[in-house]
Each structure stands twice: as structure tokens, then as C-alpha cells.
Amino acid sequence: MTSKNSCIEPENEGNLTDATRRDFLKQSTLLTAIALTPAPLVKAAENGWDEKIADVYEKVPVNIEVNGVKHQLSVEPRATLLDLLREQLDLTGTKKGCDYGQCGACTVHVDGHRVNSCLTLGVMVNGKKITTIEGLAKGDQLHPMQESFLKHDGFQCGYCTPGQIMSAVACIREGHANSATEIREYMSGNICRCGAYPNIISAIQEVKEGGQEV
């Protein structure tokens, strides 16, 4: 008479054999893959050289002039002008707000025209002149718009202020500061979450009406 144990033992034995076979096949496959991988590539991966080498080959040369200073840079094709300014040139006055072109905190001038630097690739400004908030003042002498923002308290937390000032200067240069309504329209791309809009409009109007060079 066959016992219950004698019935179970052959089944367990088969499972163990299958498990051992599967483990053997997995290990064999892994060892074969390692054996076929060139030693230099394995070493490069271990030291992170593969990423460093990729960075060198992926970057492209970009020559730009920022605030009157010429720069020769190596830039990743996917890097934005905003990241280029902040991370490579340490010009952190240009703020990263939404990073989607909706708040205007990253506004800079490219060849005199205002742009959202978070939506502009660094490679797109090759050979161009960039002006950031750091480039408006002349030494210790503030730009008229900067002085006007201080006078009219055109900021609260101040995070949007660099972009607001850069857009405000462009607004006058573009001829779109002839009335409060027009200023609101052409400054609408710059968001102030603190709600300092009336003071910002007053600051722009004073510079416009004063006929100061911007």
C-alpha cells in the first residue's frame, strides 16, 4: 500500500529538479552575456565613463554674448537658455518659475527682443546677444526701470521682479506703453502672484512719461 508520503516525495523531487534547471539556465545566460561584453565597456560603465563620453559627443559649441561678455560654451542640444544662464554662467537673476512659458519669470532679451528663456533652446541663440536682469544696471547705477520699481514698490516677494522688469523695458521699447490698458495687455505674459500689478503699471508709466532712455 502506498503511503501519502511516498506519493508526495516524487512530486517534490521533480520541483527541485526543475528549479535547479531554471537557476542553471539563468546563471548560464548571465555569464554568457558578461563574457561577450567587451572589457573596456564593462569598465567604462562601472566608472560612469560611458555617460561622460556621451556628454562630450552630444554637446555642441555655442558662441554667445551675455551682458556684453562673450562666451564660448559646450551645450547639450536639449538644454534651455534658462538653464544655460543659471547653471553654466551662474546668472541666477533670471528665475525659473513655471518652466512652461506661462509665468514670464524667466524673461530675457535676445538681440533686443524679449523671450521666455525656458522655452528657448540654448543652441538657438548661437551668435546672438543676450541681456539678463544683471546686465541692465551700469555698475552701481541702476537702470531707470529698476529705480522706478523701487520707488513704486512694484514687487512683494520679488520672485517675478526680474522678468517683470525685463518685460517692462521691452514694453516701452516696443511702443506698447501708451496707456495703462495697453501696458496691462502687453505685460500680461508676466504673472505676479503677490498682486503688485497696479504698482508695476505705475512704475512703467513713470519711466515712459519721463522720457528716460531704456
User: Per residue in 147-184, pLDDT tens?
Assistant: 999 999 999 999 999 999 999 999 999 999 999 999 99
Per-residue pLDDT tens over the stretch 175-195 = 999 999 999 999 999 999 999
Residue 191 backbone dihedrals phi, psi, to 5 degrees = -95, 135
For residues 144 and 95, membership in a common domain is answered with no
Q: Rounded to an integer, what distance in angstroms lies between the CA atom of residue 1 and that of residue 108?
A: 92
Q: What's the pTM value of the predicted model, to 2 decimals?
A: 0.75
| Cβ proximity of 108 and 130 under 8 Å | yes
Residue 101 contacts by C-beta under 8 Å, 6 or more apart in sequence? 116, 118, 119
Question: Per the domain annotation, does 99 fall within a domain?
Answer: yes
Boundary residue ending a domain (135, 161, 196):
135
Number of domains in the chain: 3
Dihedral angle computed from the Cα positions of residues 183, 184, 189 and 194, in that order, rounded to the nearest 10 degrees: 120
